[in-house]
């Protein structure tokens, strides 16, 4: 048994020890276990000036060093080097430090995103074994401070930028008498149409749509929406960003 499993057994906590192929990062660990990176937590060692602290964050997110400074109450926080980790945390392989500050004599800070999960998986001190345990069982026995310390991954931030850059528009649609409900339903099924509703007034249906650019928006309206049986006229109103 390892120091990690010894500690869990001492607490009377139920856990599952999961062997896997060598994993050098939390992302590798998730892939080896066939689970989402969000279900794996990684333990980041911080140098806080007066010593070391552990930041426990989801494998799918990145540490925000400024947020970490606010969490620990220190002005100059940095990531510990590999040499420092090997020297001050002997017996644990790099990238496999467990989130148990009590084993290391280091204060532990946990990002709130970690606490949202009923169970979590973390490296058990080696690159070939992980522990699955209930979040409440683990941190209920461990003195931790819960504080925001992360930001989205680069891939997630890129996706948000792409979504925000999308052209959004309202398409006002006139239809033949008695066809409003059918047209609204068919328009709603068109890819890139976010919603489609029957309304009163000079137009019969209002659709909310998005597209990568104005050319794609034009194609969506002309080739897809105007092609719906019963549509007689459309007016496209792009949303302005002021």
What is the pLDDT, as a whole number, of residue 124? 87
Instruction: Decide yes or no: CATH 3.10.580.10 for domain 3-152.
Output: no
Tokens standing for residue 149:
């310390």
Is residue 240 very low, low, confident or very high in pLDDT (cuts 50, 70, 90)? confident
C-alpha 179/C-alpha 184 separation (Å) is: 9
E strand residue ranges, 12-158: 15-19, 41-47, 52-58, 62-63, 78-79, 108-110, 119-123, 129-134, 144-146, 150-151
Tokens standing for residue 108:
């532990």
Tokens standing for residue 30:
């998730």
Tokens standing for residue 51:
């010593």
**pLDDT tens-place string over residues 221-232:** 999 999 999 999
Does residue 180 register a pLDDT over 70?
yes
What is the pLDDT, as a whole number, of residue 164? 58
Mark out the alpha helices in the chain (DSSP H runs).
3-11, 26-33, 65-72, 82-88, 101-104, 112-115, 135-140, 154-165, 180-188, 214-219
Per-domain boundaries in the chain:
3-152, 166-238
Q: Does residue 195 contact residue 145 with C-beta atoms inside 8 Å?
A: no
Distance in angstroms between the alpha carbons of the first and the last residue of the chain: 61
Mark out the alpha helices in 92-153 (DSSP H runs).
101-104, 112-115, 135-140
**pLDDT tens-place string over residues 106-152:** 999 999 999 989 999 998 888 888 999 999 999 988 889 999 998 76
Is residue 2 very low, low, confident or very high in pLDDT (cuts 50, 70, 90)? confident
C-alpha 9/C-alpha 1 separation (Å) is: 10
Q: Which CATH class is domain 166-238?
A: alpha beta
Q: What is the DSSP string of 198-232?
A: E--SS-SEEEEEEESSHHHHHHIIIIIITTSTTEE
Percent of the chain's residues with pLDDT above 90? 51
């Amino acid at each position: 048994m390892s120091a990690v499993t010894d500690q869990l057994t001492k607490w009377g906590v139920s856990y599952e020890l999961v062997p896997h192929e060598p994993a050098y990062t939390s992302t590798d660990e998730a892939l080896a276990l066939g689970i989402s990176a969000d279900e794996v937590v990684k333990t980041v060692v911080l140098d806080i000036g007066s010593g070391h602290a552990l930041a426990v964050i989801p494998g799918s997110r990145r540490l925000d060093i400024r947020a970490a400074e606010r969490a620990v109450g220190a002005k100059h926080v940095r990531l510990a080097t590999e040499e420092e980790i090997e020297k001050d945390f002997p017996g644990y392989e790099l990238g496999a430090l467990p989130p148990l500050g009590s084993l290391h004599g280091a204060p532990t800070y946990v990002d709130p995103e970690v606490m949202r999960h009923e169970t979590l998986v973390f490296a058990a001190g080696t690159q070939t074994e992980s522990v699955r345990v209930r979040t409440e069982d683990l941190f209920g026995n461990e003195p931790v401070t819960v504080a925001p310390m992360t930001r989205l991954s680069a891939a997630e931030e890129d996706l948000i930028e792409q979504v925000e850059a999308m052209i959004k528009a309202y398409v006002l649609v006139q239809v033949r008498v008695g066809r409003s409900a059918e047209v609204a339903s068919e328009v709603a099924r068109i890819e890139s149409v976010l919603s489609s509703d029957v309304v009163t007034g000079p137009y019969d249906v209002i659709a909310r749509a998005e597209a990568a650019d104005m050319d794609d928006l034009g194609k969506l309206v002309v080739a897809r929406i105007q092609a719906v049986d019963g549509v007689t006229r459309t007016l496209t109103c792009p949303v302005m960003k002021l």
